[in-house]
Chains A and B, each alone.
Chain A
Amino acid sequence: MFKIRKLGLKLLLFICLLGIANTIFPGTFSIFTSPEVVYAMEEESTNPILLDAIENIRIYSTYNYQTLNDTKLNQLSTGFYLPLTYGEVELTWEVDNQRIVLDENVQSITVSSVTGDVVIDVIEGRIVSLPNAFAGNDPFVLTATLFFGEESASAVYTGQLVPVMPDGFWEGAFFTFFRYLSLFVEGVVTTLLLSLAGTIIGFFLAMILVMLRLLKPSEMDSRFIRYAKVGLSTFSKVYVTVFRGTPMIVQAAFFWYGLGLFGNALLCGLFVVSINTTAYIAEILRGGIQSVDSGQTEASRSLGMSGLQTMRYVIFPQAIKNSMPAIGNEFVINIKDTSVLSIIGIFELFNQTRKIAGMHYRQLEAYFVVALIYLFLTYTVTKLLQAAEKKLDMPIQELKSSN
């Protein structure tokens, strides 16, 4: 039992460390990295007209006529149209994958471009079959040969066919979960990182904030100290009121879109969670301090300990212990509430799910899966915290010689 608890905590820590490492050294851990962009060209000609054509050839989706160049070829599950001409350049196409058939019939389609709608001649690349649900992506190579007078050149496009999502709800949900596991894990790591680091940072800031709140001017202080104490205590009060009284989503938008803090959305998000949590934990700690019997303070003061020493060695340890369940709860709340940081473009679990949901245009399954993942996280963390609390039930801390 004991060992399992320890293991759980270590695992949590490990995932978070991995996440931090991944943020600092992107790409070190393959499960967190998306595939490389798969758009490539081969140029053997120096003819500017051919080069221009290679630059500008567009492949269009049969689904919505959008261009598929760049990353979208890499997530292909619909057919596509291949242009037969580009200005005076003529094109022929080849594909190396059995699942794709290039139709001989020439069709005319209307696509929009900067100069307005244009009609172009295309052939259709039809997808005969998609890889089955749990197979990996199926890579393919499209080769275009470009002719211009005597000269020719070729352009090579690589892409991947993605499996189809099965029709049924449960099948779809399983598919979503397993197929995008690494994306979900990536989201979970970011979410845990934000909420855990945010809670820990918030905890330490809250300790300072609550200290300020408890400053009381006494008759022995000089005038300046008295004003300083009142000022700091008021600041603490106002801080709590402001950050508890405004939604985190607004705070996030304010600090990121408004102030562009840190120039890095993830750091800005961590900042927002931390300062938000600070306000809540400060209130928790204040309650915890007030719940410590005043006799403890009197006993400590009667032994000659200063107000600060009394705080540090007697009141705070007890207040923190009393507050632990509520602080743990704050962590659990943060796991859920960091989802609002998706609005500043952080790919935490919720935003990651939005991305996944968009890939197959199947919202229900994706959000069902993520609901379960959130539930799993909050439940596990709650249980781990309960176990940890039990273990800490008798915290006799070490006394150190130094002051």
Chain B
Amino acid sequence: MEPIIKIVNLKKSFSNNEVLKGINLEIHQGEVLSVIGSSGSGKSTLLRCINLLEISNSGEIWFENERLTDNKINLNRLRAKMGMVFQSFNLFNNLNVLQNCMLAPMKVLGVSKEDAIRNGLKNLEAVGMKDFAYQNPKKLSGGQKQRVAIARALCMNPEILLFDEPTSALDPEMVGEVLEVMKQLAEKGMTMIVVTHEMSFAKEVSTRVIFMDQGIVLEENDPQSIFTNPREERTKAFLKRILS
């Protein structure tokens, strides 16, 4: 089967700092890929390159048989098919919860207002936030915000969801509710790439784990193998540090 995303020898530098040094990766329909690695290893940069928030220097990214690294590509149409969930939620402060979910479907997909409301409420319900539909996002807790952010991404009916440390900014007692939502999405077959420090999530929910180190994918395996039997020394060191 064709992968949804195929990355070939992707490189990205910020001035002299080469952050991605040749990434090769494939993600298939229905996969949940966890990306782990120490701080500064380029995990966020990789996600942002996939979503074209950063423009890579060389290499190729294919998304559903279209080459994203092509200059002529219509960025907006492709981004619309990839949902992104940020560490800092980034809910639109000028809109209420439901409107956060309606804006892009209406403006990008041209969905009618009625359909946007219906779809918005449906997705808010799926993340358990329907009761907050008319609230100001500023008044929500971190966990609630992140669930709204997930609902907002779902409203675009994306082919794939990208998560960049979705629980890192949360108080410990709120991590669970967000992971629970993500788990449900995974069970429904949503394709996801999740940058995370939550090893339990990586272990239990994901279908595959990659360990990034200094701008390359150092190790790639199914969760069971990578956690119980890592091949690389640096993976071992990282897991030891983070699990202790």
Contact = CB atoms under 8 A, between A and B. Distances in A.
B207 to A, nearest CB: 24
B86 A298 contact: yes
Interface string B93-106: 11110010011101
Contacts of B108: 303-305, 309
Interface residues of B, number: 39
Contacts of B51: 302
Contacts of A309: 107-108
Given A302-B84, A305-B107, A399-B106, A318 B93 contact: yes
A396 B136 CA distance: 8
A318 B51 CA distance: 24
Contact of A298 (B53, B82, B102, B153): B53
Nearest to B88: A295
A303 B104 contact: yes
Contact of A296 (B76, B78, B90, B153): B90
B80 interface: yes
A395 interface: yes
A397 B102 CA distance: 13
A318 B92 CA distance: 9
A128 interface: no
Contacts of A397: 94-95
A313 interface: yes
A304 B76 contact: yes
B94 A293 contact: no
Contacts of A304: 76-81, 104, 108, 156
Contacts of B53: 298, 301-302
Contacts of A403: 107, 110
Interface in B117-143: 136
B80 A399 contact: no
A394 interface: yes
A372 B106 CA distance: 52
A303 B99 contact: no
**Which of A302, A313, A401, A403 counts the most chain B CB atoms within 10 A?**
A302
B93 A295 contact: no
B3 to A, nearest CB: 21
B83 A296 contact: no
B231 interface: no
A299 B86 contact: yes
A317 interface: yes
A45 interface: no
Given A220-B71, A401-B112, A299 B92 contact: yes
Interface of B: 51, 53, 55, 71, 76-84, 86, 88-96, 99, 102-104, 106-108, 110, 112-113, 116, 136, 149, 152-153, 156
Interface of A: 219-220, 293, 295-296, 298-306, 309, 313-314, 317-318, 321, 394-397, 399-401, 403
Q: Which 10 A-B pairs have the closest CB atoms?
A: A304-B80, A299-B90, A303-B104, A302-B84, A295-B90, A317-B94, A304-B108, A304-B79, A401-B113, A304-B76
Given A302-B82, A396-B95, 10 more contacts: A220-B71, A298-B90, A299-B92, A300-B92, A301-B53, A302-B79, A303-B152, A305-B107, A318-B94, A394-B136
24 contacts: A293-B90, A295-B89, A296-B93, A298-B84, A299-B90, A299-B91, A301-B53, A301-B76, A302-B79, A302-B83, A303-B153, A303-B156, A304-B108, A305-B108, A306-B76, A309-B108, A314-B92, A314-B103, A399-B95, A399-B103, A399-B113, A400-B113, A403-B107, A403-B110
